[in-house]
Amino acid sequence: MPHLGIRLVAGSGGLDRPATWAHGCELEDPTGWLDGGEIIMTNGIAIPSDASGQRAYVDRLADRGCTAIAIGEHQVSPSLTQTMLERADERKLPVLMVAFDVPFVALARAVAQGNQNEDHDRLLDHVRIYDTISFLGADARDVDGLFSRISDLTGYHLWLVTESGRQLAGADSPMPDDLAAAIPRAVRKPPRVGNGFVVPLQLDGSVAGYLVAAPARATAEADLIAMQHVAMLATLELANVHRAWESERRRGAGMLSELLHGGGSVDSANDRFADDGWDDTRLVVSAALGDPTTLQDTHTSNRLFDREVPHLQLRLGERLWFVLGERHVDTLLAVLPRAAGVGLSGVFGRATPFVGPRREATWALERSRAGDGEPVVFSSHQQKLRWLPPDTPTLHALIAEMLGPVIDYDSNRGTSLEETLRVYLELRRSPSEAATALHCHRHTLLYRLRRIEQLTGRDFRRTSDIADFWLAIQARAALFSETDGLHAGAKHNH
């Protein structure tokens, strides 16, 4: 094209390549955004300065099926190495130099004008896809049939998969390994993977699944725009699945609310389990601590449903409660984001009164929160808490006897003797460590401990009194956690 001020410097063996588009691009690796057949126009910013980098640049574009590289002369391009030019000859990828006074838009316009018929055909393909999608309203249940018809139009096998990669609809043939390995895939990554596509599908601001496409025949031609049309259909179907999951989550939340507040057994509400085919007889209660912005109810439940984990879930205040089979605990911990604490009860049966496992999970959560937030299982870490009376009135009586005067003193005078006692006992009764943790002088700490002895009539030198104080502190923490968890955030109980 001498009239455009273009001269060939390498790759003459590829001059018969069809050019579908010409586009300016300064990315060193633009291949994820290309369909093949493009002339890449660059001022040289994208071209590496070293020989090996230039060779790799040619290989990437040739592998992607680009038609040519057009480089603006007298711009910022590094010197083209002999290695790059020889590689372009080997790969039959034309390397063109564009005169300084010729704008890239002139080259782009020439390519566009030469492809008017092809663009018209592509537009018709898009219209046919839209026509097929329009059947969704009348044929919403036959998603596999819709995918089959679109596959015939595009020449691509199609799969709709969830966030975890589980197939919901699409081709019966296995997904190619390179596409399966690309899941999960961030939205910021280009959707082109090899000769196929992995298009993230978003619902409520997060990736909920993927449209995966792989060529079904050698002549398959589908651009990213066409795949975005198909992704619209896939997102609608994914939304239907999520609506069904949300209905299940709300139904389970109602049952879990009854268990948490009423204290019955799982068998007393067995219809929920029977309806869903739950066959777990070894169950676990879990409580995770986190506000709704960091520990999202629906997102967490959807990830469990996606992994086919039967569960009950309910948010109360800053706690997210779960009931599920023991065999699914690892999956629960895997899908939970980093929380301020996670507590799990011991394993229990369906006939077990729910108040016991609920309390175990609460105590385990308190231990987890007091530590580094790592999950704590009651049965393996908090057996000594079984010494506490199981009924709430007896626990209240223990607290009143041991801590009542201290609580009243703090309430009337605005002091923090109860916190001092708790920290002192947690830090191995070391006055120095406790004083440091409470940001007070050691003498101040000793004064507070003497005041606690005076108020309660107990003596820190007696092991029995120390044991009573510790059990009372644990009982108060557990009861306050239960009260906070069962009565805070009632608006989330739906």
pLDDT at position 55: 95
Measured CA angle at 354 (ends 348, 357), to 5 deg: 55
pLDDT at position 137, please?
Answer: 44
Residue with tokens 């219209």: 127
Do 141 and 52 fall within a single domain?
A: no
Same structural domain, 315 and 418? no
CA separation for the pair 367, 359 (Å, rounded):
12
Does 272 lie in the same domain as 372? Answer: yes
pLDDT at 107: 81
Task: Say what the pLDDT of residue 489 is.
Answer: 41
CATH of the domain at 63: 3.40.1390.20
476 and 371 within one domain: no
CATH of the domain at 123: 3.30.450.40
Q: What is the 3-state secondary structure (H, E, C) of 309-354?
A: CCEEEEEECCEEEEEEEHHHHHHHHHHCCCCCEEEECCCECCCCEC
214 found inside a domain: yes
Distance between CA atoms of 401 and 488, rounded to whole angstroms? 27
| Same-domain pairing of 122 and 237 | yes
Task: Mark whether 102 and 126 lie in a shared domain.
Answer: no
Q: Based on the fold, state whether residues 125 and 233 are members of the same structural domain.
A: yes
Q: What's the pTM value of the predicted model, to 2 decimals?
A: 0.61
Does the residue 387 lie in any domain?
A: no
Same domain for 365 and 399: no
| 255 within some domain | no
Same-domain status, 319 and 232: no
Residue that finishes a domain, picked among 242, 277, 301: 242
User: What pLDDT is attached to residue 282?
Assistant: 85
The CATH number of residue 357's host domain is 3.30.70.270
Range(s) of the domain holding residue 396: 392-490
Q: From CA 256, how far away is CA 323, in angstroms rounded?
A: 8
Residue at which a domain ends, from 92, 114, 136: 114
Instruction: Report if residue 252 sits inside a domain.
Output: no
pLDDT computed for residue 480 by the predictor? 60
CA gap 76, 117 in Å, rounded: 36
Residues 376, 368: Cα–Cα separation, whole Å = 6
Number of domains the chain contains: 4
Please tell me whether residues 126 and 236 are part of one structural domain.
yes
Question: Does residue 108 sit in the same domain as residue 122?
Answer: no
Q: Does 13 reside within a domain?
A: yes
Instruction: Give the relative orientation of helices 417-426 and 442-456 as an angle to the nearest 10 degrees.
Output: 110
Distance CA 342, CA 285 (A): 11
Q: How confident is the model at residue 116, as a pLDDT?
A: 56
Place of tokens 């036959």: 142
Tokens 């006992």 correspond to 425
In tens digits, the chain (494 residues) has pLDDT values of 555 668 899 999 998 888 888 888 888 888 878 878 889 989 999 899 999 999 999 999 999 889 999 998 888 889 999 999 999 999 999 999 988 877 888 787 777 766 655 544 554 455 455 555 555 444 455 677 777 777 777 778 889 999 998 988 888 888 888 888 888 877 777 787 877 888 899 988 888 999 998 888 765 565 666 777 788 878 888 999 999 999 999 988 988 888 887 666 666 655 555 555 567 778 888 888 887 877 888 889 999 999 999 999 999 888 899 999 999 999 999 998 776 789 898 888 888 888 788 888 887 887 787 777 788 887 644 444 555 555 567 778 888 999 999 999 999 999 999 999 999 998 989 999 999 999 999 999 999 999 999 999 999 999 989 988 988 887 787 666 554 444 444 344 44
Task: Provide the CB-side half-sphere exposure for 155 (13 A, CA).
Answer: 10
Claim to verify: residue 167 and residue 211 sit in the same structural domain: yes
